[in-house]
A and B are shown apart, each in its own frame.
Chain A
Amino acid sequence: GAVVSQHPSWVICKSGTSVKIECRSLDFQATTMFWYRQFPKQSLMLMATSNEGSKATYEQGVEKDKFLINHASLTLSTLTVTSAHPEDSSFYICSARDQRTVSNQPQHFGDGTRLSIL
């Protein structure tokens, strides 16, 4: 079945640095990918919709200059957390759907990236 891979799975870095997270669809193409964030003991919250070849669409309250999204190919979207601070520490998860299949086919999720900012 469809596989979505995220990298890295875990990162710790100092406050003020920027962190890039990759989301790849391994065996299918995805013109659209979704980025979610999950804080401890909470549900997933959609951050943005990544669109291949065009600008991402951000949810209300998500700073587009802080969370840079690039979707340069049909199999790769990246999320860069710029000048990260401790409050950005969270579990970041991406999802995608095989565009070749009928529209009701499910989204598939990566295994997530746990980001810890010291």
Chain B
Amino acid sequence: DAKTTQPPSMDCAEGRAANLPCNHSTISGNEYVYWYRQIHSQGPQYIIHGLKNNETNEMASLIITEDRKSSTLILPHATLRDTAVYYCIVNNAGNMLTFGGGTRLMVKP
């Protein structure tokens, strides 16, 4: 699976949009971009995934660049409960997931 690069930490004000970047410049054509988050002492929670088109669900939006070498996860109105470690994973569907260091998002009042 392709490797991803994420900033180790980010802060966001409560109520503002949180934009979490991910670089995956070695992604191959059949690999999807998945986003998970892990709140302290819990298992990872699936957020969203995409191949090349932008995606949106009730939790977040995923913006993938045209060359697919990077993506951004957007939490439109961050709340304190969104404080977590966010993992961007590139995966060839159905296989085990390889977790990097992720981005520790701190939402502040």
Contacts and interface: CB of A to CB of B under 8 A. Distances in A.
Interface of A: 4, 6, 34, 36, 43-46, 49, 91, 93, 95, 97, 103-104, 106-112, 114
Given A43-B100, A44-B99, A103 B93 contact: yes
A35 B49 CA distance: 21
> Interface size class for chain B?
20 to 34
Given A43-B100, A49-B96, A97-B94, A106 B43 contact: no
Interface of B: 32, 34, 36, 41-46, 49, 51, 87, 93-94, 96-102
A82 B93 CA distance: 32
A115 to B, nearest CB: 13
A43 B49 contact: no
Residue in A44, A46, A103, A112 with the greatest tally of chain B CB atoms within 10 Å: A44
B34, B93, B100: residue with the most chain A Cβ atoms closer than 10 Å = B93
A103 to B, nearest CB: 4
Nearest to B46: A106
B49 A112 contact: no
